[in-house]
Structure 1
C-alpha cells in the first residue's frame, strides 16, 4: 500500500523531545492508521488496522511496553 505522506494529517506526541526523534501517526481514509519515523518522512510507513491500533494503544496505556519495567533500559 502506498501512503501519500505529503497529504496525510501526520501528528506527533507533545511528549516528543524536539530533536525529531519521534514517531508520527496519521488516520487513513479507510480507517487504518499509518505510523512513520519523524526523521525520515519519506521513508517506510507501517499501516495498522483499527483493531491492531486499539490493541497496541491499550497495551501502552496499561504499561505493557514499559521497557524500564522490563529491565531493558529507557
Structure 2
C-alpha cells in the first residue's frame, strides 16, 4: 500500500494534472517530479493507494489516462455478520 499523504492531496488536480505546480509545494518543480513518480509507481506496481483527503472509502488504485491519471476507488464490502 502506498500512503500518499499530502504528496497527492487532491485526486482531481494531482491525478488529472500531475504537472501542475501546487501553491503548497515548497519546491514546486520537485513537487511535480514527486507526484509523477508516485503515480507512475502506483500504476506500474498496481499498488493500493490511500491519502489524507480521499473520498470514501479512501483507498483505491491508479490508472494511466491520457497525460494524467485516474483514481479508481476500491469496492466497499459491508460485512453484516459481525
TM range (shorter): under 0.3
Q: Which has the higher helix share?
A: 2
| TM-score, normalisation: structure 1 | 0.27
TM-score by length of 2: 0.26
